[in-house]
Structure 1
Amino acid sequence: MAAPFVDTAKITVRSGNGGNGVVSFHREKYVAAGGPDGGDGGRGGNVVVVADDHMSTLMDFRYKRKYVAENGMDGSGKRCTGKNGTDLVLKVPRGTVIRDAETQEIIQDISGDEPFILCKGGRGGWGNQHFATPTRQVPRFAKAGYPGETREVILELKLLADVGLVGFPNVGKSTLLSVVSRAQPKIANYHFTTLFPNLGVVYVEEGVSFVMADIPGIIEGAADGAGLGHDFLRHIDRCRLLIHVVDVSGSEGRDPVEDFEAINQELRQYSPELASRKMIVAANKVDIMQDPELLQRLREHVQAQGLEFFEISAAAHQGTRELVKRCAQELQDLPPVAVFEPTYVERPPEVDTSGEVSIEQFDDTWVVEAPWLQRLMANVNFSDYESRSWFDRQLRASGLFDKLEAMGIQDGDTVSLYDLEFEYQR
């Protein structure tokens, strides 16, 4: 039994925490007052997503839903930095779109070869070597590492194909794909033989080829979730050209014109932009046609809409060569396969600043630590004025400055927040 096709998956990913900095002092014979030499913590591992051309489904993500990168190692003496956490590399089929699970916004389209960092590892904490100053020669404190990022995302596979075959079940799409390419889809004379999309490379002539996708048969109501079509309509989102395959044999007592319009209606309902895409109509099974009137009615109906019309028999290899040549000509003038632009906007974190705060005084230095402060600082770009202003407002709203003043902080004293230090001014 073939493995089921999986084209969506919801997973949780978390990058590694940064390692902690260490408090250490140089100890060596004949070296007096060696000074602080505590090393920094290592960076936590990133969560990296890469395209893998050997994968065709998201099956690997069906059962395992949580992925965590390695934490960074703590620093050590002699100014030794801790080892960085190993990056966690997630391989996905080319064409996978990553969405934010909550907002459904696109974070990244994994269609190219560049790795994408989905979650950045936490920065390592500073060792006490960084906190030595002319007036603070024996810093007895270091900083904890920053926590990694956590995201809940939806992976959605949208096939990368130039040409998509659409039409009702059992009209001969799989047969057509097998005839014009080396793909070997399952073919049988019953509805829904194709349970998942199939891809094939069509070689037209030397240096000319394109990718064709056989999309599982769409039925009426597919855009509302009926049948298999709703699950797989997304796979023709990228197709530059559509071949609408219609059965004109009359063997099942169906009206080709009604079938043609029903599928177009589903496409329009799913995506008006998709329905307006370039389309070629292929009247299939002409070799076993029982009523030529059906073919003539469909031809007149299609040509009245300005669409190109081909008579073919995929099973008998009749007209298929002319069809793929015409597809290749059309593709030369059509824009490249669409890549979905990111729509996700990073939002300021909602951090509860009411938690406990640890404040220690070392001479004129006030060392502040709190789990919520780590999360807050991990999302601040200190090179950006607006981001710094937002951070200052968050600190004031948390009551941190009020606590420092109540403990006796003076103007000009140093406030140490992890890897940030500044002079306090009322």
Structure 2
Amino acid sequence: MAEKSNFVDQIKVFCRSGHGGAGSKHFMRTKFNPMAGPDGGDGGRGAHIILRGNKNLWTLLHLRYHKNILAENGESGSGNNSTGRSGKDVYIDVPLGTIALDEETGVKEAEILEDGQEVILMPGGRGGLGNAQFATPTNQAPEYAQPGEPGQEGFKILELKVLADVGLVGFPNAGKSTLLSVVTAAKPKIADYAFTTINPQLGMVEYRNGTSFCIADLPGIIEGAAEGRGLGHRFLRHIERNSILLFMIPADSKDHKKEYDILHNELEQYNPEMLQKDFVIAVSKSDMLDDELKEAISRELPPDIPHVFISSVTQQGLSELKDLLWKVLNQPSP
């Protein structure tokens, strides 16, 4: 199960941002005037906790060992109008496609989609004002200063939704891992039993003239996934981000139309917005089919969705598949 432990797509972390420093209640003392006026400086801001997108990360694994994220407090102000130092902000680097949820409310608080994007997950407390800020013509020697504001604390859930151009959707054993291993440099674990792919596998498909696109083999879907059966929601969460869904239906399926309908129905029940994506169908394991059988299968498939017959083993149809995916990926938005 080493594969499973290295891909972490959800993690709970405890965060505490810094408290603001207290303002100073201080009076200037000179040789001739021991009460020369208020000069208490402001307190420093408590440190923020900031999420930052990092395109070189693919998993939340690195946070497994940093589940308590505690930020520095701001320093108190001091005399001579000296402002306290602000706490040093803490950055949490996360892969693109990460969202942050509040554990108690379940509300989404942040979403990271771009490299270098920064979102303040938990702001630090403001520093208190020193007594110099409260001096007025009628109150020239204020005896008070503000305390700093407290920071925030609580548990946050970080979730990764894989960002890939193409997501492979199909029942277990539809040939998704085999296709990925042939068209990309990824080395997924391949076996013909259900749930070999416990976690999403990502690979880059080299296309023409140095271009490429990203393809993700997602854990096998089964009837009832929308209700959480099998790998259920954990699997469907990753599909939300893909711009094309490539439905893989094996040539030896008993009923190609029914298999497609089940997959389609699972997606619709989970999130109807999924149906706004571009769909492509690949009939896998097609090396045994003659033209007559291909014609018969084509009649079973939905007429409005492009399909291609492929065989990962004999490399049949793979160029056509890449061409089709590239064309759909780069078609102008309606």
TM-score normalised according to structure 1 size: 0.72
1:169 counterpart residue number: 172
User: What secondary structure, in the 3-state scheme, does the structure 1 residue paired with 2:207 have?
Assistant: strand
Match of 1:85 in 2: 87
Question: What SS does the aligned partner of 2:81 have?
Answer: coil
In structure 2, how many angstroms separate the alpha carbons of the residues matched to 1:256 and 1:230? 24
Correspondence list, 1:381-420, <5 A:
none
Which digits, 9 at most, give the CA deviation of each residue in 1:175-219, with x for residues without a partner? 212222222222223222211001122221125322111111111
Q: How does 1:363-378 map to 2 (within 5 A)?
A: none
Corresponding residue to 2:24 among 19, 22, 25: 22
Q: 1:25/1:71 Cα in 2 relative to 1: closer, same or farther (>3 Å)?
A: same
- Establish whether residue 35 from structure 1 lines up as the match of residue 37 from structure 2: yes
Aligned to 2:298: 299
Partner of residue 153 from structure 2, selected from 150, 158, 162: 150
5+ long unaligned stretches in structure 2: none
Aligned partners of 2:314, 2:33: CA distance in 1, in Å? 91
- After the TM superposition, which parts of structure 1 deviate over 6 Å for at least 4 consecutive aligned residues? 291-294
What does 1:58-77 correspond to in 2, within 5 Å? Answer: 58-62=60-64, 64-77=66-79
**Paired residue for 1:284?**
284
In structure 2, how many angstroms separate the alpha carbons of the residues matched to 1:297 and 1:103?
Answer: 52
Alpha-carbon separation, structure 2, partners of 1:32 and 1:158: 63
Structure 2 equivalent of residue 129 of structure 1: 132
Q: Are 1:49 and 2:47 counterparts?
A: no
Contact 1:248/1:294 (8 A) holds in 2: no
Cα offsets for 1:22-75 (capped at 9, x unmatched): 222223435554322212111000110011223222234446544221110111
Q: 1:305 to 1:110 in 2, by over 3 A?
A: same
Would you say the 8 A contact 2:21–2:73 is kept in 1? yes
The one-letter code of the counterpart of 2:258 is E
Checking the alignment, whether the CA contact within 8 Å between 1:163 and 1:241 is kept in structure 2 is: yes
Match for residue 206 of structure 1?
A: 209
Cα distance in 2, alignment partners of residues 88 and 135 from structure 1: 43
Residues 1:216 and 2:216 aligned together:
no
What is the Cα deviation at residue 150 of structure 1?
3.2
Kept after mapping to 2: 8 A contact 1:257/1:297: no
- In structure 2, what residue type is equivalent to 1:68? L
1:158 positional shift: 1.2
Match of 2:192 among 186, 189, 194: 189
Name the amino acid aligned to 2:299.
E
Judge conservation of contact 2:127–2:149 (CA < 8 Å) in 1: yes
Is 1:245 matched with 2:248? yes
Aligned residue number for residue 324 of structure 2: 326
Work out the percentage of aligned pairs sharing the same amino acid: 45
Cα deviation code 1:297-345 (max 9, x no counterpart): 432111x432212110112221111101111111112549xxxxxxxxx
Q: Report SS of the residue matched to 2:262.
A: helix
Question: 2:194 corresponds to which letter in structure 1?
Answer: H
| Structure 2 residue aligned with 1:111 | 113
CA distance in 1 between counterparts of 2:154 and 2:187 reads: 38
Question: What is the Cα deviation at residue 292 of structure 1?
Answer: 8.1
Query: Which structure has the greater CA radius of gyration?
Result: 1
Structure 2 equivalent of residue 259 of structure 1: 259
